[in-house]
Amino acid sequence: MNDQGVDGLPFGHVAPAEDAAPPEVAAQAIPDEDWSRFHWATPLLSLWKLWAALVAASFSFLLQILEDGMGEVWEAITGITSTVILIAAAVLLALSLLVILISWLTWRRQSYVLASSGVHHRSGIFSVTHRHVRWDRIQSVEIKQGIIPRILGLGSIMIDSAASGGNLSLGLLKMNDIHALRTQILRIAAAARTGAQFEVERTETETSMYDPDDAYMDERPFYRLPTGRLVGSMLLSGALIATLGAVSAILVPLIFFAEGFSIGLLVALFGALAALWGQFNLNHGLKLFLTKDGIRVRRGLTTTTTQTIPPRRIHAVTLTQPLLWRKKDWWKVKILIAGSVLSDGESVSDAMTKSIILPVGKRSDALDLMWTIIPSLGIDDLAGFFEDALSGTGPSRFFAPAPRSARYLDPFRIRRNGIVLTPTVAVHRDGWLTRQVTVALHGHWQGLKATQGPLQARLGLATFQLSLVAGDTAWYGSNFSLDQVHALLAEERQIGLAARAVDDRESIEEWAARVGVA
């Protein structure tokens, strides 16, 4: 590169956050030599994906022919000649070379740059696609490493944006470059959101070997999930029970009734095992760190994901305890993040699983994590409140209970069903077999709602709901009396509007000072 900075300005130029040129104009003003390419091994990842897809297709085809019996399978295998093998090998080789060629051409036409107007990315072989994320719209930065990129010391960086265009993925890059990019993006985004001036610097590639512990040595470790606890939580989960049920459904007819093999039950078994593997693969080695930019989550076995979550983006926290976890007093913590969208190639189920920031932990771990997110619950007797919220049943000095008439619709949940509105949060306690406590911050709901079904109308009951941002967290208390719902609506509206007027959430600087990482 030369001594010219992005946007045609010298490196070291300080740009005001509020003066951003239109992205198309800004991109045209950036010299071609300032754009950076991704790592040369990026096209090889496409070849890996091709072979993985071929293996999956072959396995699916094998399952289908197994339904016709092993006799036809053996006949097909013995009928394969050397000519057929050579033709198949030639086709696979040609297909692999074609994928590599297309991927190489795509890689040659991809580049990125950090500019004073934001992060720019351009791609396209025949027509150029330009994507741009403004600095003040960046919500968080996530780092991903698949199993093959991890072997090669590479990774990709995912920029989570509040803009309508969604996330922006940059990669593959060396992990040293990834760390430098992440640090600069988070720094500039924080300055842009406050309207402060910032400086876009040219990052120099480090030649030393990347070590994630050294890269984040200024951060404070908060929680590490032991592998034994993760496996134990899965053994005591509903997913394992479903897997054992699928195995029993396959083996019992074969052993006791001498019935034929069912390929459908085998597919169901593989599906249950895949769900268990997905949980273990995603959450293996999970570590939480407190940083000056937020809560950093690092986890994954075959694909390592590093995500930094600013506390201000968290709108609700849910603590959940399945029935079989009660003896260990384990809890799961899930968060609702504002502006979160699907990453490239990410399924809805994966995104929902990632919202579980603490897959399993002791009660003290879960409450400590809640404290890092919510500075105050507006309750003086916290010990008594949490004991009532997490384990309590029946009448409570903290929670407004559902009326006795609710027992006709909720005969089992009625003793746990309760709501409390404190000066800072709205808390709903629920669950019979699986205990659950949902805490939502005032002023972050999109609307308030009261609904009533026909059976509820006959019993004088209704449902009170806070409409939160899009996600897999719902806050609603069902089967409360009409008088309770009307009072809750009025009180929450008053508290929520007051909270919005004063912006009661702490800044990232205040949060960092409170948790000791400033």
**pLDDT tens sequence across 273-292:** 777 888 899 999 999 999 88
Question: Are 359 and 279 spatial neighbours (Cβ–Cβ below 8 Å)?
Answer: yes
Closest CA to 336 of 350, 356, 358, 366: 356
Structure confidence at residue 17 (pLDDT): 40
Tell me whether the omega of the peptide bond preceding residue 54 falls within 30 degrees of 0, making it cis. Answer: no
C-alpha 419/C-alpha 62 separation (Å) is 54
- Pull the structure tokens for residue 156: 């990709």
- Cβ-based neighbour number of residue 387 at 10 Å: 13
Distance set, CA 46 to CA 43, 101, 102 (Å): 6, 10, 9
Sign of CA dihedral 274, 341, 371, 490: negative
Query: What are the residue ranges in the chain where pLDDT is below 70?
Result: 1-28, 46-48, 50-51, 56, 58-80, 162-166, 203-218, 239-240, 242-269, 339-353
Q: How high is the pLDDT of residue 238?
A: 72
Per-residue pLDDT, 182: 87
Residues 49-91 pLDDT 10s = 766 777 767 666 666 655 555 555 556 666 667 787 788 788 8
Which neighbouring-strand residues pair with 178?
Answer: none
Give me the pLDDT at residue 205, please.
55
First to last CA, the chain: 35
Instruction: Mark residue 431 as left, alpha or beta (left: phi above 0; alpha: psi -120 to 50; beta: remaining).
Output: left
CA distance 439 to 107: 46
Question: How many Cβ atoms sit within 10 Å of the Cβ of residue 425?
Answer: 21
- Give the whole-angstrom CA distance, residue 401 versus residue 418: 5
Looking at 79-174, list the stretches that DSSP marks H as alpha helix, in order from N- to C-terminal side.
Answer: 82-108, 147-151
Q: Does pTM surpass 0.75?
A: yes
- CA separation for the pair 352, 334 (Å, rounded): 9
What are the CA-CA distances from residue 47 to residues 41, 95, 104, 144, 155 (Å)?
11, 9, 11, 19, 17
What ranges make up the beta strands (E) of 116-219? 118-123, 129-133, 138-145, 154-161, 168-174, 197-199
Ramachandran area for residue 79 (φ above 0: left; ψ -120 to 50: alpha; else beta): alpha
Smallest Cα–Cα separation from 28: which of 113, 96, 151, 100?
113
